[in-house]
């Protein structure tokens, strides 16, 4: 019998590569996505299609309205999303943390994944945090992941009774180009993934936001053809 894993799946490039990688390692995968007040539905539509094509055992989309708390350009519609032409890494003050940071987002997502993992008797939770992100987002750093894992094993019946959880972050030391090369080898169709902060309802990318910029440069550096549907 295969081991079970929860895979956090946003519908973006990193988590789609992550899912393909977990499946290549013979995990039975349960995909978990969140409707947390994102600006657009395109990313979740992509997650659903990707989960279906990958034939995961189960895909759950959890509704959780973090936008009620505000505080991030990704969920608070009164804050502008940064674009790569004006200020490539906008911050809300003098800190190094981007305004697209959503307070405690990965903590919340991992906690809910932990609850599902315990119910399923799954001991592995995959999250697609990467080196590109953890320069800016505190909850993408290895020390956060290690700390979350230690907490998870004190928080749960499974952890206390000797079936500890592992938070798997196989992309954490990879650049965007390396992730694209890995996914390419695993047969990932990146045209199905959505990265753009302002994608339209057809999943087309604006081509000018920070996320589009990072994606474009990733394909260039990986020397792989970028079949993303950019509008600009």
Closer residue to its own copies (CB): 6 or 205 = 6
Closer residue to its own copies (CB): 97 or 231 = 97
Question: What residues have CB less than 8 Å from 201, skipping those under 6 apart?
Answer: 40, 41, 42
Closer residue to its own copies (CB): 159 or 183 = 159
Q: How far is the CB of 13 from its own copies (least distance, A)?
A: 23
Closer residue to its own copies (CB): 24 or 135 = 135
Q: How far is the CB of 83 from its own copies (least distance, A)?
A: 22
**Of 31, 51, 105, residue with least CA distance to 73:** 105
Q: How far is the CB of 115 from its own copies (least distance, A)?
A: 4
- H or E element, residue 50: helix 42-53
Question: What residues have CB less than 8 Å from 195, skipping those under 6 apart?
Answer: 12, 13, 205, 211, 212, 214, 215, 228
Distance of CA 202 to CAs 44, 110, 134, 193, Å?
12, 29, 30, 12
Closer residue to its own copies (CB): 112 or 177 = 112
- Separation of alpha carbons 110 and 107, rounded Å: 5
Max Cα–Cα distance, the chain, nearest Å? 54
Q: How far is the CB of 110 from its own copies (least distance, A)?
A: 8
Q: How far is the CB of 174 from its own copies (least distance, A)?
A: 21
**Interacting residues toward its own copies by CB under 8 A:** 60, 62-66, 68-71, 95, 97, 101-108, 110-112, 114-116, 118-120, 138-139, 141, 143-144, 147-148, 150-152, 154-157, 159-161
């Amino acid at each position: 019998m295969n081991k079970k894993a929860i895979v956090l799946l946003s519908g973006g490039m990193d988590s789609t590569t992550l899912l393909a990688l977990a499946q290549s390692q013979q995990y039975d995968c349960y995909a978990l996505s969140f409707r947390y007040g994102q600006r657009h539905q395109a990313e979740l539509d992509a997650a659903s299609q990707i989960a279906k094509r990958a034939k995961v055992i189960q895909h759950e989309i959890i509704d959780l309205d973090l936008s009620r708390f505000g505080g991030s350009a990704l969920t608070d519609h009164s804050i502008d999303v940064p674009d790569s032409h004006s200020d490539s890494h906008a911050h809300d003050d003098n800190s190094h943390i981007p305004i697209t940071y959503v307070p405690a987002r990965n903590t919340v997502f991992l906690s809910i994944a932990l609850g599902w993992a315990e119910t399923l008797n799954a001991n592995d939770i995959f999250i697609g945090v990467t080196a590109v992100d953890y320069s800016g987002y505190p909850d993408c750093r290895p020390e956060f992941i290690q700390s979350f894992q230690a907490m998870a094993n004190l928080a749960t019946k499974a952890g206390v009774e000797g079936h500890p959880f592992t938070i798997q972050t196989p992309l954490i030391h990879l650049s965007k180009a390396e992730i694209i090369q890995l996914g390419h080898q695993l047969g990932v169709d990146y045209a199905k993934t959505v990265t753009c902060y302002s994608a339209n309802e057809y999943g087309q990318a604006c081509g000018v936001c920070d996320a589009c910029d990072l994606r474009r440069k990733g394909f260039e550096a990986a020397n792989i053809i970028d079949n993303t549907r950019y509008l600009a």
